[in-house]
Amino acid sequence: MQAIRFRWICGGLAALGLVLLVGLAGTARAGTDLTSDQVKVILHTATPEEDGFIDRTLAMVEKGTLPVDLFESCLLWARRKPRHQFQFFKQALVLRAADQGITVQ
């Protein structure tokens, strides 16, 4: 019974987080309103290298060299994956940015 309650609570929090992300996607275009720590939690980063990738890409968004809508769409897409969210996010972002002539490492 407690496991079912725990799943409902986690599911509710995940849904709330997704609603907030979708709401943020329509806000300021100069940069994302998400902090580095929020993105790391959303994507379940596990290593310093993964954290560094998030920090570098958010810096690119803030500089305007990486479109915020590209960053956020990859984030929202990867967030829906049941596992390995960071890996999905990274691969999608690198490939989609390359299509636009942007190098993300």
Asked if residue 105 is part of any domain, the answer here is no
What is the extent of the structural domain holding 95? 2-99
E strand or H helix that includes residue 6:
helix 2-25
Computed over every residue of the chain, the mean pLDDT equals 83
Q: Is residue 38 in a domain?
A: yes
Which pLDDT value is given to residue 28? 38
Q: Say if 40 falls within a structural domain.
A: yes
Do the domain assignments include residue 13? yes
Q: Is residue 55 part of a domain?
A: yes
The residue whose two tokens read 């996010």 is 89
In 3D space, the residue among 35, 47, 39, 57 whose CA is nearest the CA of residue 105 turns out to be: 57
The torsion region of residue 27 among left (phi > 0), alpha (psi -120 to 50) and beta comes to beta
pTM over 0.85: no
**Number of domains composing the chain:** 1
| Residue 104 predicted with pLDDT over 60 | yes
Q: How far apart are CA 51 and CA 70, in angstroms?
A: 19
Within-domain flag for 82: yes
pLDDT for 36-76, tens place per residue? 999 999 999 999 999 999 999 999 999 999 999 999 999 99
